[in-house]
Amino acid sequence: MANIVLAHGAWSAAWAWKKMRPLLRAAGHEFFAPTYTGLGERAHLAHRDIDLSTHIQDVLAVLEIEDLTDVTLLGHSYGGMVATGVADRAPGRIARIVYIDAFAPRDGQSLFDLVGPKAEANMRAGAAKDGDGWKLPINPMPPDTSPQDLAWASPRRRPQPIKTFEQKLRLESTQAPPPRHYIYATRSGPGDAFRQFGERAKSEAGWKYFEIDASHNPHITCPDVLMALLTRIMPNKWEDK
């Protein structure tokens, strides 16, 4: 049994983990899935000044108010930026971080730094054209997403405040980061931004590397497979420590 806290992806929210909730509950885990300010059911709070620090604070607040410790922190996609910041600011509460096809920044890096200038320019152009300069238009879902899942998810996705991708993460803790696990989705298509972090996890101390036969959203396209992999990772608490 574990306390599991989610840092979800961009354009998304807690709703996207609907299929995972009963699986985690059946395994006896406590699952906390805060939605970031300005997205999902909190889209009515969106404004141009929301940044990465806002979303880090959204997750930190759950840790503090629920008084959670020994936490397995899941970071999916953009949520890897958030999870890295959360672990830095609350190191005593985090047992491990699991990056699920996610960005794994170093100190001083923004998401735009990690995707490269071409992708950044394309996203900025989209915000200028369709997002009043500060809302990043919704990214398409992976092509293997079923029609049923597209019909469910598409109306719930919301534009992403651009400052969340612009702000550079500043790491402040003097403690070593918690054990980190990287799950790389092997069906990533052209423009794969996540292979670089899988390669880092394979070569750098403090990481364990895993692969999943899935595209970028395994919590939607193959939740049972993702749950099986998380089950392999989470019981190893005595090894992590």
CB atoms within 10 A of CB 47: 11
Catalytic member of 12, 53, 77, 110: 77
Residue 126 to residues 139, 175, 213, Cα–Cα distance (Å): 10, 39, 31
- Backbone angles phi and psi of 112, in degrees to 5: -60, -35
Q: What is the rounded CA–CA span in Å between residue 159 and residue 127?
A: 9
Query: Does the annotation mark 77 as catalytic?
Result: yes
- Backbone angles phi and psi of 135, in degrees to 5: -110, 120
Angle, helix 52-65 to helix 79-89, in steps of 10 degrees: 50
Overall size of the chain counted in residues: 241
> Which positions are annotated as active-site residues?
77
